Structure 1
């Protein structure tokens, strides 16, 4: 399996979502204490609602905007029983973000060595300068790629889900 293009975490403010609290049985909760009690007494509703919203989010953000090789997520529960999810996705058009990120990192280390004059020869300086140049180019590819994905997500959401 190839390395993911992006990682994500999805959580939600379960105490503050009116949509969720309208699903709770009985009279509507009027206080935070009542809302908390409803959440604790109805974990099946909380988890179902979270899962439903997560699947809608994933559809908007990933399924409708880009082809991907794979997508994965898992659920976790915090100590107070609050559900959240972590996940990863590998886009088919990934420009090799792992390689590009390494090049940016190497570039920044090279810049520090140049700044501190921490090199022993002209040849090493030339190699460091090449690393800096390659890192700047890689950084621009990462920025452009990330901006393109963000733009697609925004466009898709604003045209299809508002």
Structure 2
């Protein structure tokens, strides 16, 4: 019975099997570096509205069209979820009861991951040894080795901070032209509020 229930989403056996899959992925490849939740405000999603049989429509017609065409909603949402271009990814979709509102929770490994876990281990080792501020004495290690651990820890910490700064930012590549156009800033804000990547 347990083997059969592993095929039924939401059962303990199902989640146990998913946990084993994730453990195998992380052991064979690398641990996850990106965690995400992707959601869609379906009634404000212009790209999706264009794909519907009736094309662009009012929000009152939107729900009926989305209910009649869930395959289109699912396809476009899936395409947008996979846009992150990760080394590997795992995610699960959730639907809000009684609607076509879909969202995904997931994680994966970034292709440009510089080895975050190894870098964090180096930085932590230097911190634990106290070589950065001399608070902890390690009589078992020679001074040269302590200095080497300290230098590796400083380098690892700098690389971790740099990587986090490149991954988590609010950069708009068209800053100069948008700064001159105040109406453009308002269009961007409205687009962000309504999840419509039209700028």
Normalised by the size of structure 2, how large is the TM-score? 0.47
Runs of 5+ consecutive residues of structure 2 not aligned to the other structure? 1-27, 174-198
Task: Go from structure 1 to structure 2 and tell me whether the alpha carbon gap of 1:109 and 1:25 turns closer, same or farther (over 3 Å shift).
Answer: farther
What is the RMSD of the two structures over their aligned residues, measured on CA atoms?
A: 4.4
Instruction: Report the number of matched residues.
Output: 137
Q: Would the alpha carbon gap of residues 76 and 106 (structure 1) be closer, same or farther in structure 2, given more than 3 Å must change? A: farther
1:100 equivalent in structure 2: 119
SS in 1 for 2:51: coil
Distance 2:69 2:34 in 1: 30
**The structure with more radius of gyration:** 2
Q: Which residue of 1 aligns with 2:88?
A: 71
Output aligned runs, 1:1-162, within 5 Å.
Answer: 1-4=28-31, 6-9=33-36, 11-15=38-42, 16-26=44-54, 28-31=56-59, 34-55=61-82, 57-58=83-84, 61-62=85-86, 70-80=87-97, 81-84=101-104, 86-89=106-109, 91=111, 95-107=114-126, 119=136, 121=137, 123=139, 133-144=151-162
Query: Per-residue deviation at 1:45?
Result: 1.2
Alignment deviations for residues 111-156 of structure 1 (CA, whole Å, 9 cap, x no partner): 6xx69x6x5x5749x7988765432211223345567889xxx99x
1:95-123 Cα offsets, whole Å, 9 max, x none, are: 43211112334445666xx69x6x5x574
Higher relative contact order by CA 8 Å / sep ≥ 6: 1 or 2?
A: 1
